[in-house]
Structure 1
Amino acid sequence: MRTRVGPGEHAHTRSLLRGVVAQMPAVLWTVDMDLRFTSCCGDAIEAAGIKPKDVVGLTISEFFGNRDPRYYRTIAHRRALSGESVSYDSEYAGHFFKSNLKPLRDKGHVVGAVGVGLDVTESRLKEEREAFLAHRDILTRLPNRTLLSDRLSLTISRAQRDGKIAAIIFIDLDNFKEVNDRFGHAVGDQLLKAVAVRLTGSLRSYDTVSRTGGDEFIVVASDLPEAGDAELIMQKINELFVAPFSIEGQSVSMSASIGLSVFPTDGINPEDLIRNADRSMYRAKRSTQKKETSI
């Protein structure tokens, strides 16, 4: 036996829902069969800079305009008006929402739709930060060894397909420990960031500059027509250390030992190419007279 719910109980239920939503980072709204907002409330809309009076009475397309480029919100609401329950993710004014839509019924007939959107911005940004840090060096924001390996694998695949050369350039800062010992880790950290900026600014946008730990950087240069181009890039990187770095108002001179390996001559997988570039760097370090770091 079905119990009929009267209008007063519907109003009481809606009031309870609004009270619950008001205590959550969420938004509750209803639309009629013309996709026009008939109500809107919740703490999340205030956080997004929206006032209910600016929403109620507008259609979905009128409110969102070009912020709904593929009309996915409109499509989701039309599905709810046809009797479906719909879930979708969306973004508005820098806030991310997980939303659920259900049809509103009166005497068995769909008369509109009700939606609840939970503001998941905090957890979304946390996930994005964790994903970023899993593949980036915290200090310089450059790719770390994990991301370097992924990009190097892709570079090798493209080079094999297109018959091109790829270069792996291993850079080790000379006497960097002396900078930390004499002037402190704060100066050392600023120097590492300055080196990162100088490297990324001098290479092509599709080359990879990574920091793999301590005072070591690895560059992956792709789509090179011939091996001689790799030598030119290594020479260009070496020239980056001719001019001193400006650190906290002081001039810091720094040199680097640089090694090179070339695909496919020196290896055909990431591990061998990095290992051979590392060995080349150490040969360069041994064959060069001891350099000095000065401030």
Structure 2
Amino acid sequence: MPYIAKSAGLVVAYLALAKIGLVFGAVSSSATIFWPPGGLALVALLLGGARYLPAVFLGAYFTTLMIHAPLVFAAAFSLGDTLKAYVGYSLIRRYGNLDLSLSRLRDLYLLILLGGVVPSLVSAAFSPLGLLASGMVTRDILADVMWQWWRADVLGIAFIAPIILVFARQQSRFFKVRRTWEMGAVWVISFAVGQSIFLGWKLPGITLNEPLGLTWVYPLLIWAGLRTGRRNTALIQVMFMAQVLAGAYLQTGYFADDFVRYGMANFWLFAMLLAVAGMALSILSTAQRKAMHQIALNARVSAVSSDGIVIVDAENRIEETNPAFTTLTGYAREEVLGKDPRLLASGKHEREFYADMWRMLLATGHWEGEIWNRRKDGEAYLEKLSIYTLKDAQGKVVNRIGIFSDITQMKAEQETVAHHAQHDFLTGLPNRLLFRDRFNQQLAVARRYSKKFAVMYIDLDRFKPVNDTLGHQVGDQLLMAVADRLKSLVREIDTVSRFGGDEFAILVSEVMTQKDVSILAEKIQTALRQPFVLDSHTVNISGSLGIALYPDDGFDMETILNNADAAMYQAKHGDAKAR
């Protein structure tokens, strides 16, 4: 239902604009100088899609019925006007990349070129040929009729389409209270000047030596375009166009004899300038206001941002900083302007680090990573830094922007969390998770280079009586002392791990024979038999130990650990054959 209602509304609007073109824009019985329905049809397709083509065709066909046109011409005109709208719609969709809110000058120019100038060639061929086939024109004036038809279609699209689009696509409020008086003044003066120029009115209380000319119109358009926005400018354009058409129709004012003397050629040129100039100025003004607002917004964001911001020129000299830069580095803005950011260097990075950074910057225009810098007071800190390169239209570097934050504390907290996740809370030894990771690394090396390694599984003997009689606090101290003794007996490349309770495991890397591991096992058992002095208590324990080798006793962690655990169990129960 909405589609049918909108289609019906489109047909009615088409007929209303067609009536305006036929009454006020006719220059002969075969052509007009201004055809506004063309702009409406194009916008309908741009906003609603090709599904509105039937409504455009019906609007064109009903227009021919209003003037009682022959069937052949009616068919040619309806088909030509529909094809014109579709060709314009297709060209804009395919090649225009158009912002329908007309926020850029290129949008306006592409709308006129792809939506008006080129597609109007289609209707300028179909309709005049329909006139010829119907006997309404002769061959000797066919070319002139085509020329007039093309001008009318181009003007209709160039004038009407932008006006509809700025009202259909713009979201901001039309009426701005702070500019009430200015907008009122623009309207009053524009109306008075338009009435004087185009309808020959005499301005009350003003005596002129000669009538006002068109040069009075453009300052008003400039005023409206630069100060009051696109929609207000569009309405003033409509008012001027209505005054021009009324004056030409009534044969009074500036264009009173333009039809007789020039075939409305001067009117067409003026109307095209009116359509393009006013809208172009308002687009430029709107873009400028948006740019200024964006600059102010960016400055505000920079000022309140907790991230430090530093801007350097093409020679890497500091041009600007924000307040957070001073907070994070300790350097005031005035202290660093014109200087190289290397004044923040901590000395913790090699030359190659900075060389890699610059290689990435020069190749891609962007670098992001972590870097150690130094504050004014000498304190080193870790920062997360992103650098972006700004280039001009020719691709030449203009500025680079660095955005950074102090992540020293966050990094320390992350490392603490990671450490706790992979280490035993009591002894500080690697837990089962980290042991598994190091086992897999050692397994990969052993497989690649055909090397051996071993896993020892250790269970403390007589630990439970210590815990039960002396308390958990002494038990914890004993576990920590055991961890220290085990670590003192192995190499840096080996891993001592606590699996829980009184169970420990040792990953012995790069062993040659089982004898190497047996020697270490004897040292461990001897060390565990030595008394532990814990506060005022002397504790004596021992350890049961099982050994499994890769690849002799398994090819994966589960198998090797199970075999080491089984060997430890046999040792704990006095099996002399246990390893």
TM-score normalised by the chain length of structure 2: 0.43
Alpha-carbon distance in structure 1 between the residues aligned to 2:370 and 2:488:
37
Q: What secondary structure sits across from 2:553 in the alignment?
A: coil
Residue 50 (structure 1) aligned to one of 305, 330, 346: 330
- Equivalent residue letter for 1:50: G
CA gap of 1:65–1:75, structure 2 versus 1, over 3 A, is farther
Residue 276 (structure 1) aligned to one of 549, 555, 563: 563
Deviation at 1:19, TM superposition (A): 2.6
Alpha-carbon distance in structure 1 between the residues aligned to 2:497 and 2:542:
18
- Equivalent residue letter for 2:383: F
Residue 75 (structure 1) aligned to one of 358, 369, 379: 358
Q: 1:76–1:86: 8 Å Cα contact kept in structure 2?
A: no
Larger relative contact order (C-alpha < 8 A, sep ≥ 6)?
1
The structure richer in strand per residue is: 1
- Equivalent residue letter for 2:508: A
Deviation at 1:249, TM superposition (A): 5.6
Residue 147 (structure 1) aligned to one of 409, 434, 439: 434
CA gap of 1:217–1:104, structure 2 versus 1, over 3 A, is same
CA gap of 1:58–1:149, structure 2 versus 1, over 3 A, is same
CA RMSD, 1 decimal: 3.4
Alpha-carbon distance in structure 2 between the residues aligned to 1:118 and 1:5:
32
Report 1:1-295 matches (<5 A). 1=104, 2=284, 3-4=287-288, 12-13=296-297, 15-21=299-305, 24=306, 26-43=307-324, 46-47=327-328, 50-52=330-332, 55-64=336-345, 66-69=347-350, 70-71=353-354, 75=358, 79=362, 84-92=365-373, 93-103=380-390, 111-248=398-535, 250-287=537-574
CA gap of 1:37–1:186, structure 2 versus 1, over 3 A, is farther
Q: 1:77–1:113: 8 Å Cα contact kept in structure 2?
A: no
Alpha-carbon distance in structure 2 between the residues aligned to 1:83 and 1:256:
60
Q: What secondary structure sits across from 2:338 in the alignment?
A: coil
Deviation at 1:217, TM superposition (A): 0.5
Q: What secondary structure sits across from 2:529 in the alignment?
A: coil
CA gap of 1:251–1:101, structure 2 versus 1, over 3 A, is farther
Alpha-carbon distance in structure 1 between the residues aligned to 2:431 and 2:338:
51
Q: What secondary structure sits across from 1:140 in the alignment?
A: coil
Tell me the alpha carbon deviations over residues 177-222 of structure 1, each in whole angstroms, 9 at most, x when there is no partner: 2222223322222222221121112111111111111111001112
Alpha-carbon distance in structure 1 between the residues aligned to 2:511 and 2:396:
66
Identity of aligned residues (%): 31
Alpha-carbon distance in structure 1 between the residues aligned to 2:444 and 2:357:
42
Q: 1:55–1:63: 8 Å Cα contact kept in structure 2?
A: no
Deviation at 1:32, TM superposition (A): 1.7
Name the residue aligned to 1:293: none
Alpha-carbon distance in structure 2 between the residues aligned to 1:122 and 1:162:
41
Tell me the alpha carbon deviations over residues 6-62 of structure 1, each in whole angstroms, 9 at most, x when there is no partner: 9987884564134312xx2x2111112210123334447535x53235544321334
CA gap of 1:262–1:100, structure 2 versus 1, over 3 A, is same
Q: 2:554–2:560: 8 Å Cα contact kept in structure 1?
A: yes
Name the residue aligned to 1:291: none
CA gap of 1:102–1:216, structure 2 versus 1, over 3 A, is same
Alpha-carbon distance in structure 1 between the residues aligned to 2:514 and 2:488:
23
Q: Which has the larger radius of gyration?
A: 2
CA gap of 1:76–1:41, structure 2 versus 1, over 3 A, is farther
Q: What secondary structure sits across from 1:217 in the alignment?
A: strand
Deviation at 1:244, TM superposition (A): 2.3
The more displaced of 265-274 and 122-131 is 122-131
Gaps of 5+ in 1: 289-295
Deviation at 1:228, TM superposition (A): 1.1
Q: What secondary structure sits across from 1:241 in the alignment?
A: helix
Q: 2:430–2:498: 8 Å Cα contact kept in structure 1?
A: yes
Q: What secondary structure sits across from 1:131 in the alignment?
A: helix
Alpha-carbon distance in structure 1 between the residues aligned to 2:364 and 2:293:
23
- Equivalent residue letter for 1:220: L
CA gap of 1:227–1:68, structure 2 versus 1, over 3 A, is closer
CA gap of 1:175–1:31, structure 2 versus 1, over 3 A, is same
The more displaced of 12-21 and 178-187 is 12-21
The structure richer in helix per residue is: 2
- Equivalent residue letter for 1:207: D
Q: What secondary structure sits across from 1:256 in the alignment?
A: strand
Q: 2:303–2:324: 8 Å Cα contact kept in structure 1?
A: no
Alpha-carbon distance in structure 2 between the residues aligned to 1:55 and 1:68:
22
Deviation at 1:155, TM superposition (A): 2.6
Deviation at 1:125, TM superposition (A): 3.6
Q: 1:18–1:28: 8 Å Cα contact kept in structure 2?
A: yes
TM-score normalised by the chain length of structure 1: 0.79
Alpha-carbon distance in structure 1 between the residues aligned to 2:521 and 2:495:
14
Deviation at 1:67, TM superposition (A): 4.3
The more displaced of 188-197 and 232-241 is 188-197
- Equivalent residue letter for 2:418: A
- Equivalent residue letter for 2:402: G
Alpha-carbon distance in structure 1 between the residues aligned to 2:324 and 2:443:
51
Q: 2:546–2:568: 8 Å Cα contact kept in structure 1?
A: yes
Q: 1:27–1:117: 8 Å Cα contact kept in structure 2?
A: yes
